[in-house]
Structures are given as structure tokens and as C-alpha cells.
Structure 1
Amino acid sequence: MSSKVVIVTGASQGIGEALVPAYRKLGYSVVAVSRSVQDSDDPEVLAVRADLSQTGEGARVVEETLRRFGRVDSLVNNAGVFVAKPFTEYTDEDYAAVTGTNLTGFFDITRAAVGAMTGPGHVVSVSTTLVEHALSAVPSALASLTKGGLNAVTKSLAIEYAARGIRFNTVALGIVRTPMHAPETHEALAALHPVGRIGEISEVVDAITFLEQAGFVTGEILHVDGGQSAGH
């Protein structure tokens, strides 16, 4: 019950999956959350299957965390849905799917997790540079609508909870080599970044673990995007 505890959403693949061993190396117990996450042999890793787009599921994850580990110290809001379409081609189903995970999921689990934090804590969310630096090649209004909300609420909550020692930060990503992008698209996607390549999962993990340990940093939108947000 003495080690710190982090909840990581979207933990079945990609960035979320890589964050589990990264936080274990920092000495944290980890609650790994996704709809399809597999059980772990590590007694300090609790797998919780949940669809965070459904109201109440985030609160249930926090309850299971407290039942198993007795505390919540950090939360990584990594789960997200991205649908790139021209604006008028988005359907009601697209809207429900994107806002369900990106906004409802954030709200439900973050509210419960912060409510369970009894001392200093940290919430880090995953956003996209497209919020501030739109690309004509990637029409993504729903990503900007929802992830832009995360950028804004990061600053709002950082101020609201500063005196309580709970920090809020966000990493805004360029395109990262994850299962979301087919290998044959990587060359074209690389050209969208000033540095001429896509990002690696390890680079995102490094940024998140930096923020985890950076006690004087709160309200920060940290761009891990190969220079996209600076220009092109």
C-alpha cells in the first residue's frame, strides 16, 4: 500500500501499453485500463477492462483501483479516438464515438481520480498538435474540438488544484509510430513533420515520465511533434 499508484488508460497497445513498464520502473503500481487489456503476471499491475466512453465506467475503474491498491496518485488519460474526415462527412456516430472517449471518458475518470487523491497528484492527458497547427492534408475537426477541450481544461484544472498539490499537464503529439497508422503510410506522414520523420512511442513515454517527475511543472502543453507546432 506504500508505493504510488498510476492509472493508465488505453493500455492494451501503443503508447499506453509502453507506459505500464515505464511506470513500473519508476516504482509505481499500475492500473492498466482498456476494453481489451490482458491480465498481467505482475501483482503490481491490475488490468481493468472498461469502455470509458460509457458514463460511470471511469468511476468504476477508480473504485477498483482503491479496492486493490488503496490509493490513486497519478492518471494518464491516453485513451482516445481519432477520425479524419472532411467536416461535413462526419456522422452522428462519429461524433458520439469521438466525444464519448475523448471528452466523456476524460471527465468521468479524471473527476473520480482527482477525488481520490489525498495528497500531491498528477494528471497527464494526451492531445494532438493539430489543435493549434491544422493541416490541410489531415481534416480533423472532431480531434480539434475534443482535444482542444483537453488543452483548455488542463490549464483550468492546474490553477484550480495548484494549492492542493495536484498537477495537470498534457502532451500534444505529432504522428507517432503506433498500430493506428499502417506502415505503408509512414513515409507520407513523415513529411508532415519539420524533422522529416514520425515520432516513436519511446519518445512519448519519455515525455510523460518527465512530466510525472517534474514537480514544478503544471498547466503545461508539452509538444512532442517533431516541430509541427512551430511551423512548416
Structure 2
Amino acid sequence: MTTAGQKVAVITGASQGIGAGLVDAYRKLGYGVVATSRTIAPSADPEVLAVQGDIADPATAERVIAAGIERFGRIDTLVNNAGVFIAKPFTEYTSADYEAVNGVNLTGFFRITQLAVEQMLAQGTGHVVQITTSLVDHASSDVTSVLASLTKGGLQSATKALAIEYAGRGIRSNAVALGIVKTPMHPEAYHETLAAMHPLGRMGEVGDVTEAVIYLEGASFVTGEILHVDGGQSAGH
């Protein structure tokens, strides 16, 4: 169980990059953390519960939320960070690509968010955050991204719908729409090219993302917000 007054965050896609940064950021706030990904290793920190599983499988969502409630007794925040990005010309996407992207980006969001919101309703308070992409609002001829826009765009719409559905019941819902962030996903050889795709002339850092999520965590009057952390990409070029 949590110590008196301790809050608890569930973070998907938590083993590396942005997800690992979010685990650290919530621990610095004093939160207990339930961290899940396919490859996550057990944590030496007793306040971090690691749960392995593929978020595209609804059974993983059931295990993650059940384990979190069993260990900590509550769930205050869910960060839907797990995501798959496959850049291909639209006509070259395969059915396997479609299943993979939908599985993580949409199915992965759906069941775990239902279960987390049920728990938040019982508590009378909670916060859900989706990590999306600014390509949803500002398509780029440099990046072929229909599957990303289809799925992450759906998440942005759902973010607003959740915000309004639960505004009167103590639960907030927000999203952070990203530019290209320096993570193990992007080989260093491409960093200069990727940096040039942002009006600010650099790639995002994991810290830029965690700062935005932690801002939303404390911003009690903000719900239904799509916060762009994208080096100016969504504003124009």
C-alpha cells in the first residue's frame, strides 16, 4: 500500500526513452509508479512496480492495473506513453503494419484507460495523459505518417472527449503532442537532419517532454488540452 497521501502513476512504454524519463520524473514528485513495457526489468526502487507485457494485449492492461491497486491501493495518473511509429508511403503499409500500430496506439490506450478511469471514479480524482505527435495537426511532406495521424489523431480527439465526459467527476484528460525527440529510436547519424525539421533548430530532449507532463500534472484548471512540445512545428514553417 502507499504511504499516507502518496499518489500513484501508471506509465506505459516505460522501459527506455521518454517512458523511463517519466518514471524518474514522477518518482521525484514522490509518486509510486507502476511501469510497464514488453521488456521492462524489475526495479531496485521499492516504489516502482515493473509489470512486463505487450500493451496491445488487453490482458496486459488488466494485469497492470490490478497489480498497481494491489501494491499501492490507488491510481492517480495514467500516462499513455507507449507508441509505435512506422513511416511509409501510404500505399506501402501492410496489414501487419496496420495491426501493429493500431494494437499499441489505440487498443493499448483503450483498455488500460477504461480500467484506470474506473479506479479514479471510485477515488473521485485522477488524471489521464496521452503522448501524441504534432504531425496530427501539421502534416509534413518530409514524413509519411498516415498511420501515426490516424491513431494519434484518434487519441487527441479521445483526450478532449474524456476531458468533457469526466470534467464534473474529478478526472482531467490532456495530451502532449511531440516533435522529434532524442531517444534510442533515432540513430545519431540522423540527428542533424531531424533537428533541422524544427523551427527551433533542434530535436526535443526527454526532459522537454517530462517537464510538459509534470506541468499538466499540477495544472488543476487545465483539461482537454493538447500541449505542443514540438520546437514550433505545429505553428508553421
State the 1:20 CA deviation. 1.0
Which residue of 1 is the match for residue 32 of structure 2? Answer: 29
TM-score, normalising length: structure 1: 0.99
Alpha-carbon distance in structure 2 between the residues aligned to 1:119 and 1:5 = 14
Distance 1:15 1:57 in 2: 20
Quote the residue 1:175 is aligned against: 180
Structure 2 partner of 1:60: 63
8 Å CA contact 1:84–1:138 kept in 2: the answer is yes
Cα pair 1:133 1:229 within 8 Å, conserved: yes
TM alignment of 1:152-191, pairs within 5 A: 152-191=157-196
Kindly indicate whether the alpha-carbon contact (under 8 Å) linking 1:57 and 1:108 is maintained by their aligned counterparts in 2.
no
Shift of 1:56: 2.5
Contact (CA 8 Å) 1:171, 1:222: kept in 2 or not? yes
Partner of 2:142: 137
Instruction: Return the alpha-carbon distance in structure 1 between the equivalents of residues 189 and 106 of structure 2.
Output: 31
Is 1:206 the counterpart of 2:201? The answer is no
Q: Does 1:99 align with 2:94?
A: no
Distance 2:183 2:40 in 1: 16
Cα offset for 1:119? 2.1
Percent of aligned positions with the same letter in both sequences?
65
After superposition, give the CA deviation of every residue in 1:88-120 in whole Å (9 maximum; x if it has no partner). 000000000000000000001000011111121
Structure 2 unaligned blocks of 5 or more: none
Aligned equivalents of 2:99, 2:58: Cα separation in 1 = 13
Root-mean-square deviation (CA), in Å? 0.7
TM-superposed deviation, 1:21: 1.5
Number of aligned residues: 232
2:150 matches 1:150: no
Unaligned 5+ residue runs, structure 1? none
Deviations 1:145-184 (A, max 9, x none): 0000000000000000000110000000000000111101
Aligned pair partner of 1:228 in 217, 233, 236: 233
Q: Deviations over 1:18-66 (max 9, x none)?
A: 1111101111000111011111111111000010101222122101111
Letter in 2 for 1:181: H
